[in-house]
C-alpha cells in the first residue's frame, strides 16, 4: 500500500522467454508502426516495467495519452502514448487538503490507492487518507476537466471527503474503485480488512455520496481482503479482490480473487458457487516465480481489446513494486482469463532502474 515512485524504463518479454529492452523513444501516434509492434508484443507476452508503482488505478485516456495514478506523495501520476513506455506526470495535490489532518492527526500528504474515471466531462479521482493498520480513514475526491497539464483549464479541485470511517465503524474507508453502469449510475466499491468490501451508490451529477447515511452494501469478506474492482461483462458484474498481505516486497502474499453477480449489489459467487461475503473467491492471479504478490486490479478497454493492470513485487529487483499489464479474455463459461506473461527471470539485457 505504500511506495514512492521513480522514473520509468520499460521492457517487453518475448515469446522466447528472454527479456529484450524496448528502445527509448517518444511515440506521438497510437497508429504508428513501431507502436503497433510494441502493443502486439504487449498483447502476446504481458508487460513489466522498472517503475516502483504501487496500487495503480484504472487506466484512462485523455486525448492521445493514457494515464494512471498510484500511491505516493500528493498522489502520483503516470502518462504514456502507447501503454508500454511510461513517464511520471505531475502529482495531483501540491499540498495536503486542510481536512486531511482531521482524519489522521499529523498526516503529511502521502495518499493511497487512487482510482479515476472520466464521467460527464470531468476526470474524477478518488484517493485514500489513512494510517497503516488503523481504520481512521477517508476516501476523498478531486476533479479536473482534463489530464493534460499543458491545457489552459488543467486544475485539480478538492471536492472533499466522500466516505469516512472511524474507530467505532466496522469497515475501513480506503482503496476506492469506480464503476459506471449502463444506466449511467456511479458506484464506489472500497474496503480493507475489518468487515470486508463495501459498495456505495454515488450521485452521478456530483460524484459524491447521495446522502450522508446512504446504505453500504456488503460485497465480500475474508480475513485479509482489500483492493476491490468491479467490471461488467456479458450480463455479469465481476468483482476482483485481493487476499493476503501487501507491502513486504518478496515476502508479500497478495493474490487476486474473483466472483460474479447478475446485480452490482450482489450476491457475488465464485466458480464453486461459494458466496464472496462468506470467504468465497476463485483465484485469478497469484505469485509465479519472480512475479510476486499481484494486487490492485484495473481494467481498461479500447478498440475491442481489454487490458488488465495491477502491480506486483519484482523478485529480480529485490521486491520493487512494478506495474504489470496483461490482456484479459473470457473463457467459455464467461470467467476472466489473463494472457500469459512470458518470463519473470532476470536477464543481462534488462535496462536498469533510473535512480
Give the catalytic positions in this structure.
55, 226
**Residue with C-alpha cell 485481493?**
242
* Pairwise CA distance, residues 239 & 204, whole Å: 21
Give the Cα-Cα-Cα angle 328, 25, 340 (nearest 5 degrees).
Answer: 20
* Contact status, residue 259 vs residue 239, Cβ threshold 8 Å: yes
105, 72 Cβ separation under 8 angstroms:
no
Cβ pair 315, 250 in contact under 8 A: yes
Q: How far apart are CA 336 and CA 324, in angstroms?
A: 17
Tell me 206's DSSP state: T
CA neighbor of 165 nearest in space, from 112, 128, 116: 128
Q: Do 261 and 276 contact (CB within 8 A), yes or no?
A: no
Amino acid at each position: 500500500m505504500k511506495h514512492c515512485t521513480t522514473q520509468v524504463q520499460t521492457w517487453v518479454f518475448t515469446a522466447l522467454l528472454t527479456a529484450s529492452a524496448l528502445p527509448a523513444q517518444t511515440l506521438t501516434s497510437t497508429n504508428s508502426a513501431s507502436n503497433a509492434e510494441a502493443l502486439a508484443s504487449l498483447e502476446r507476452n504481458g508487460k513489466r516495467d522498472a517503475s516502483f508503482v504501487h496500487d495503480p488505478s484504472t487506466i484512462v485516456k485523455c486525448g492521445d495519452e493514457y494515464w494512471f495514478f498510484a500511491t505516493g506523495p500528493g498522489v502520483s501520476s503516470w502518462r504514456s502514448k502507447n501503454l508500454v513506455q511510461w513517464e511520471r506526470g505531475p502529482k495531483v495535490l501540491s499540498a495536503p487538503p486542510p481536512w486531511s489532518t482531521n482524519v489522521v492527526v499529523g498526516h503529511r500528504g502521502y495518499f493511497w490507492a487512487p482510482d479515476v474515471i472520466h464521467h460527464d466531462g470531468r476526470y474524477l479521482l478518488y484517493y485514500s487518507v489513512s494510517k497503516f493498520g488503523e481504520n481512521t480513514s477517508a476516501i476523498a475526491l478531486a476533479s479536473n476537466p482534463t489530464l493534460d497539464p499543458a491545457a489552459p483549464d488543467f486544475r485539480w479541485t478538492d471536492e472533499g471527503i466522500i466516505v469516512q470511517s472511524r474507530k467505532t465503524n466496522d469497515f475501513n474507508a480506503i482503496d476506492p474503485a469506480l464503476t459506471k453502469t449502463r444506466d449511467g449510475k456511479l458506484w464506489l466499491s472500497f474496503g480493507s480488512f475489518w468487515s470486508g468490501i463495501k459498495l456505495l451508490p454515488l450521485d452521478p451529477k456530483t460524484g459524491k455520496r447521495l446522502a450522508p447515511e446512504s446504505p453500504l452494501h456488503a460485497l465480500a469478506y475474508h480475513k485479509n481482503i482489500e483492493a476491490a474492482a468491479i467490471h461488467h461483462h456479458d450480463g455479469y458484474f465481476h468483482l476482483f479482490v485481493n487476499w493476503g498481505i501487501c507491502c513486504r516486497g518478496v515476502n508479500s502474499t497478495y493474490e487476486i480473487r474473483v466472483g460474479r453477480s447478475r446485480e452490482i449489489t450482489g450476491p457475488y459467487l465464485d466458480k464453486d458457487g461459494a458466496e464472496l461475503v462468506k470467504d468465497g473467491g476463485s483465484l485469478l492471479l497469484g505469485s509465479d516465480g519472480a512475479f510476486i504478490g499481484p494486487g490492485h486490479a484495473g481494467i481498461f478497454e479500447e478498440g475491442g481489446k481489454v487490458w488488465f493492470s495491477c502491480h506486483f513485487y519484482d523478485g529480480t529487483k529485490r521486491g520493487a513494486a512494478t506495474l504489470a499489464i496483461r490482456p484479459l479474455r473470457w473463457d467459455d463459461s464467461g470467467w476472466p482469463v489473463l494472457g500469459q506473461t512470458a518470463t519473470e527471470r532476470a536477464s543481462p539485457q534488462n535496462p536498469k532502474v533510473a535512480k
